[in-house]
Amino acid sequence: MEIGVKRNGIFTISFFAAVLSWPTQTNAICRTFYESDGSYTENICEEDTSNEIGIGTTAPGAKLTVQTNASGTAVQLLSGSTGYHTDLSIGRASTEGQLGIAGVGDLVLRLNDSTKKLLLQAGTGTAPLTVTNSNVGIGTTSPAYKLDVNGAGNFTGNLTVDTNVLYVDTANNNVGIGTAPSASYRLHVDGVPFIGGNVTILGDLNMGGAPMVVWEQYHRVGINENSPGAKLEVNGNVYVSTPGNGIVWKHADEARLMVNSNGILGTQCSGCSGDSQLEVALFVVDEFGAAGECSGGYIYYDEDAYEDGFEALNYDQIRVNTDPGVDARDFVDFSGGGQDNNDPYGADFADVFLLATHGSHDCTGGYSEFTMGDDGDCKVRTSEMEFGNGGSNEEAKVGLLVACDSVHQCVWENGGYDDMFHGGFNILNGYHGTSYDNHDNDIGDYIEIAEEGGVGDDWVDLLTCDGGPFNIHDQQCATSMVFGGANYTAAFIYHNEGFKNFYDQGGHTYTDTWFDCGCNPDGGVALYDHKCE
Amino acid sequence: MFRICDSRIFVVVFLSMASVTAQAVDLSRDAQDRLRSRLVVDESAINLWPALGESFDWNIGPSFDPQLFMNGIEAVAGIEGVWEAGETERSWRAETPFHTIKVIKEKMLFVVRDQRPYYLDPIPESMPEDSVLLEQARTLLEAIGARPDEMETHHIAFRARRSKPHKNLSSAPPSAPEKMSKKVYFDRSIGGIPIKGDKIVFTFSLDGRFRKMIGKWRRIDYGASTMSSSLSEEQFLSVSVEQLLVAGVDPDDAFPIYLGTTYVPYEISPGVFAVDLKGVARIGIYGPNGERRWHMHYYDI
């Protein structure tokens, strides 16, 4: 009978010619297999005292011991084609794997040396599961923690860390720190949190029992008051007791009323920038072509309408500058050799300036340009302007440019207006493309309407051309450019800043332009279609 | 609409114009012909006779009723809380925790603002039809005393923004336009003729909720107004040419002039206005660099 063959050092069972004999050895009965040429192949021995069988050994240590040479594979079981049948099955009858184990007891895979790695892997690359040094790694073969995950995780059930140190309630999408979270709270913290950076809360803040309530939606704070009816409502006494402190009532950024640390009521401004006056500077350039002035066609403005608007708001100073008293230096920054802080003519000297004249723009150069009425200084560019930049009498907050191309999209896209904005200067209104010069009364109405808010939004509402007899709604495109410390801050200023209600915009980090979709003026590219697509 | 009334007497009135230049005005036939060649006559813009029905109400419009206005706002906005109202010599105002109303009495300027930051709300999955917004706007116009026959002309547009960081912080390109609200513009007209300066702009958040209303809508006594002209079309053109020359318009400028008609209000007693039918010219002007600018010139007809 042909039973065994030595093939590549592996003992296999096949049908091959062999010579079989059963040599007798001490304490063991062995059978030696020989190749057909008589060469020695392998022994199969039975230890006679313990009844243990050894293959390749005369001293088996277990019921079946298979021992091979140092470089050989001891056992290989193959069953049909790999991938279709189970190659090694221990207590398992199905045929879909190469190793199948099933049983009623524990399965222990253990390495004697804890520094070695037990890897589980499907396919190639880094083993997705590694056990070593009493740690488990997922996505890492060198786990440094009990569970070390390199990559994203997903829990469809709750996650708990040391009872309530951290509790993730996936059923209600809530997180608890130091406690299991109440179903009412997205984040429930039981303990004292320390937050080393900014906190943004897009909802109300309630300090249980209402010692303090912050209504985010209405920008109001109540102290001992659940429903604050003003920006700050305090239900109780207010003490200012630290020596050296006082109370200052401000309008815009200017102190209007002050109680100093000695309890003395006063109106002087102390420690605040700017003066306490509300000022507007109107620049109306309307006579072109006359001697000593810029050339150009007939143009008409009624500065009275502008003046009336600010008079209705009780502005303290209304300075009307018409040609030939106007020149470009009134808009060029003081530090650049201009006179924009000059009293009474400088644009930056006032809180609000308005310039009505001819305008044009240069996308590539990144500026809008305006015609002034003084020969020799007939043009001024936005690239020469800086407002609110903190020098002496430089405190502009809002600019109104009643001129063509004064806030043009392509100039804004190229950052052509960015350097104009400093300090409290945060809104510049103008036009993308051609403007009309007979909006005098509309602008007067706009000034009154935007007293307490809407300097940006109301401008686009009222100065984007009305229908009139020519149905020209989409041909004059009023635009408003706003700067803020954040995207949402700019939006807030655009809607809420008023001519008597200026805001600190918290920096000049972000800028917006606002317009009506589908507006398509002369001299300007259409502002998208009516769906802004 | 344009009507020719040849039987009417043609009277040309020369008005003194504040803006007449110091130079002598050339009213010669040649100058008139040259300026006339600049005219672009769109009959849809020229209306010498308003289309008023037989049942047209010539009575003075109602005076402003604050309670009616508050009721209208409550109807469209669902006001929460109680109005707190007050009045000064210049204005009437009312507030709730969410809304403020201000009416500047002398000019009949209306300001209603929802103080909540609706513009930060996410874009809803679906937006209401324009007809829904128009209905709310008409309800509010009625609440300030507007007549249905004055609400014929409207325009609707999305208000959008684009954003970008300051150029010194990033070279990131500006954002694509982001729709933030919807605007409904109502231009006041009567019988198909616009009334200069009177318009109301309504703001709705993208979910269709009323958020803001600003503009002017004066109390008009149509019975005391000059509602139509005695001129024929040809007479209207002749008057227009002469009035423009008197006003100093250059007959030789290459830019076209568009003609139309409109009602111009004027105050006849405190808070009450009448309207006069006027001619209006939309005149193109060249700036020093050849840039265009539009001037609207109003004149008697």
DSSP A507-522: -SSEEEEEEETT---T
Taking CB atoms and an 8 Å cutoff, what residues of chain B touch A410? none
Judged by CB atoms closer than 8 Å, whether chains meet at B291 and A508 is answered as: no
Judged by CB atoms closer than 8 Å, whether chains meet at B250 and A298 is answered as: yes
Confidence of residue B21 (pLDDT cuts 50, 70, 90): very low
Assembly ipTM: 0.91
Q: What is the mean pLDDT of residues B114-129?
A: 89
CA distance B195 to chain A (A): 8
Contacts with A93 (C-beta within 8 Å, 6 or more apart), sequence order: none
Taking CB atoms and an 8 Å cutoff, what residues of chain B touch A532? 158, 160, 177-179
- pLDDT on residue A5: 36
Between residues B152 and A339, the one the model is more confident about: A339
Between residues B1 and B22, the one the model is more confident about: B22
- pLDDT on residue A12: 40
- pLDDT on residue A126: 80
**Is the CB of A368 inside 8 Å of chain B's CB atoms?**
no
Output A523-528 pairs: Cβ under 8 A, ≥24 positions apart. A523/A404, A523/A405, A523/A433, A523/A434, A523/B291, A523/B292, A524/A405, A524/A408, A524/A409, A524/A431, A524/A432, A524/A433, A524/A434, A524/A477, A525/A409, A525/A410, A527/A409, A527/A432, A527/A477, A527/B160, A527/B177, A528/B160, A528/B177
Residue of A512, A527, A533 to mutate for B, most B C-beta atoms under 10 A: A512
- pLDDT on residue B17: 34
Residue of B153, B161, B258 to mutate for A, most A C-beta atoms under 10 A: B161
CA distance B130 to chain A (A): 13
Size of interface A-B (CB pairs under 8 A): 227
Q: How far, CA to CA in Å, does A25 sit from each of A21, A29, A38, A53, B234?
A: 13, 6, 20, 13, 139
Judged by CB atoms closer than 8 Å, whether chains meet at B174 and A404 is answered as: no
Low-confidence ranges of chain A (pLDDT < 70): 1-26, 69-72, 78-87, 89-98, 100, 102-103, 208-210, 217, 240-246, 248-276, 287-299, 373-377, 437-440, 466-467, 523
Contacts with B124 (C-beta within 8 Å, 6 or more apart), sequence order: B206, B207
- pTM as predicted: 0.68
Look at the block and give the residue holding tokens 């040309």.
B12
Out of B161, B250, B293, whose CB is closest to A404? B293
Judged by CB atoms closer than 8 Å, whether chains meet at B100 and A490 is answered as: no
- pLDDT on residue A164: 76
> What amino acid is encoded at A201 in this protein?
I
Separation between Cα atoms, residue A514 and residue A482, nearest integer Å:
8
Quick one: residue A466, left, alpha or beta (phi over 0 = left, psi -120 to 50 = alpha)? beta
CA distance A99 to chain B (A): 53
CA distance B57 to chain A (A): 23
**Is the CB of A445 inside 8 Å of chain B's CB atoms?**
yes
CA distance A486 to chain B (A): 9
